[in-house]
Structure 1
Amino acid sequence: PIYEKQTVTSTVHTNPKVVVTFALEIADILSVVGLEKAGITYFGLPKANLPESIYQFASDKYPNTGTLFEPNYDTLDLMMPDLIIIGGRSSSLYSSLKTNYPNTDILDVSNTTFTFERQKEVFTNLGLIFPKIKVDLEAQQAKITQNFETVRNKVDGHNALFLQVNGDQISVFGVGSRYGVLYSEFNFVASDPDLKTLEAHGNIVSFEYVSEVNPQIIFLMDRSAAVGSSGAIDQIINNALIQNTDAGKNDDIYILDPMSWYILPGGINSSLQMIEDIDQVFK
């Protein structure tokens, strides 16, 4: 599905104590800088399929606020949050949440077509809302930027293809897609410069397509693993047509961490992992 996003400019109160996030990357950020340090006394989030890096929030002391697509309004009524954070998959919830909780601030941190540039804006806004963690956020952002620039400077005209594995299907993502950061910021050259990515989950392609494009580098992200089902990533890698590409012949096929790329892009640990994933090429 394509998620409808509303652009809303609003004033947000500082130092909210009761906070709910429907953007899991915020849980990643707060797990690093600290809920208590931020001044948050009560924190809720959707808890289905929590990645290991934020599994601390599976504890009963953090209310389960529904799913990324459907809030549990009974839980929200009991919490009466000062601030609700939405983003990406949950950005379409703005109107219903505002209608139900007119006195609650709602912050949209959407970064669906992920960029590190947009991530900086999100960190800046969080630092304004939670001034007690502003310095920590700036330090983490500086670390992410430094690591990112170090890796980007190693990319020297390499062409690359981004493939998402979903069961036994493969989908490709090109320039301007949700994984276009590969080209727009890491500065890889698109193996298929004419590709237009039309679907949120990429364009389903054949092994013959990959063979014809013949990428120097293939990045594989296993969506099945991210959503808790079994994928066929080994079969994909070992497919004869994949192995016969330049990437296959030169052992330049790299597996990306699916939780960081698919579930948590925009967090702290997840961003550092994304950068590390790309740095595999140069090791």
Structure 2
Amino acid sequence: MKKWTLFIMLLAMAAVFAACGSKEESKSGAKEQNDTNKQAEEITIKHEYGEAKVKKNPGKVVVFDFGVLDTLDELGIKVTGVPQATIPAYLEKYAGDEYTNVGSLKEPDFEAINELKPDVIFISGRQAELYDQFAEIAPTVYMGVDTNQYLESFEKNMNTIGEIFGKEDQVKAELEEVDNQIAGVKEKAESIDKKALIVLANEGKVSAYGPKSRFGWIHDVLGFKAADENIEVSPHGQGISFEYILETNPDILFVIDRNAAIEEDSEPAKETIENDLVKKTKAYEDGKIIYLDADYWYLSGGGLQSIKAMIKGVEEAY
């Protein structure tokens, strides 16, 4: 009888230990699963200035590139902080009090950014030299567009945003729309023997941009022949005179008015551009001086909304 009682006690103890072990294994398994899920929710984005580990669907988003901002707006993604000093008119809702002002494009308010404790920060060329300071606060993704391969660079940026926010299918559909739009304009541009010159007007001064430059995708992507193939490639363009415009004598003159983008009461570029010299060009005589929207071209290029509007603006040349 004692042996039988002892046997039952041993069985009971074994059952208890087994149950405890099962619970521990369950807890351990759950922890491992949670760790795996946590890793799965984080993606590594490689970019020109390094790499950033970003949470999928980040909640607090700070944006210093208006092309990225207009893309997030198009995709219906919430934004927390934006530089409100100069916001394109079509994105003016982001100047509202519900968004935190994080400074200007060239002078970020790092204190305000730090207080937000963002999950991700998006920057581009205007903030590139400050990358390390941004990265100390939160994962920072550089979203500048490479002018040497504009379309590929733009599409890469859009797909990156799609991956971060789980909007891959929507981005794919948007890019297909852009590709179709480009194809239509390029077909027209390549079918005519017309040469174009792109200039930026700024307080009475003029700079020219050619292939592979900041605005050069008019040539490289949209297929417009360049009136001058040897324009210096520079972020600020090649300084030119109005005599140069006459000598180059473009069939189409695309004008971007910088002042219109950054100053409310600036003198229209038309008053500077359409002088006695420029009036002798084929572009003026044929009514082919095209004033491109500076909000898109100067402030927010490289976004899903802006690129469609930019292509449409160029199409006015027809």
Query: Which whole-Å CA distance do the structure 2 matches of 1:74 and 1:234 have between them?
Result: 41
Which residue matches 1:142?
176
Which residue matches 1:95?
132
| Residues 165, 221 of structure 1: 8 Å contact kept | yes
Q: CA RMSD in A?
A: 1.8
Q: Deviations over 1:19-47 (max 9, x none)?
A: 10111112111222212xxxx4x611100
Q: Where in structure 2 are the equivalents of 1:6-45 lying within 5 Å?
A: 7-35=49-77, 40=78, 43-45=80-82
Q: How many residues align?
A: 268
Q: Which moved more, 1:108-117 or 1:70-79?
A: 108-117
Query: Which whole-Å CA distance do the structure 2 matches of 1:167 and 1:208 have between them?
Result: 17
Query: Which whole-Å CA distance do the structure 1 matches of 2:58 and 2:267 have between them?
Result: 41
Query: Which whole-Å CA distance do the structure 2 matches of 1:21 and 1:129 have between them?
Result: 14
Query: Which whole-Å CA distance do the structure 2 matches of 1:164 and 1:17 have between them?
Result: 38
2:257 to 214, 218, 222: 222
1:263 aligns with 2:299: yes
Distance 1:91 1:80, change over 3 A: same
1:243 to 255, 275, 279: 279
When the two structures are superposed, what TM-score results if normalisation uses the length of structure 1?
Answer: 0.89
Structure number with bigger Rg:
2
Runs (4+) off by over 6 Å = none
Deviation at 1:279, TM superposition (A): 0.6
1:85 to 100, 115, 122: 122
Which residue matches 1:106?
140
Query: Which whole-Å CA distance do the structure 2 matches of 1:71 and 1:246 have between them?
Result: 44
Distance 1:112 1:66, change over 3 A: farther
Query: Which whole-Å CA distance do the structure 2 matches of 1:200 and 1:265 have between them?
Result: 14
Which residue matches 1:116?
151
Query: Which whole-Å CA distance do the structure 2 matches of 1:138 and 1:56 have between them?
Result: 26
Query: Which whole-Å CA distance do the structure 2 matches of 1:6 and 1:143 have between them?
Result: 27
Asked which structure has the greater RCO (Cα within 8 Å, sep 6+), the reply is 1
Percent identical pairs in the alignment equals: 29
Q: Which moved more, 1:222-231 or 1:54-63?
A: 222-231
Deviation at 1:173, TM superposition (A): 0.8
Q: Deviations over 1:66-94 (max 9, x none)?
A: 11122212212221001011112112221
Amino acid in structure 2 at the alignment position of 1:134: E
When the two structures are superposed, what TM-score results if normalisation uses the length of structure 2?
Answer: 0.80
Query: Which whole-Å CA distance do the structure 2 matches of 1:242 and 1:232 have between them?
Result: 16
| Residues 196, 250 of structure 2: 8 Å contact kept | yes
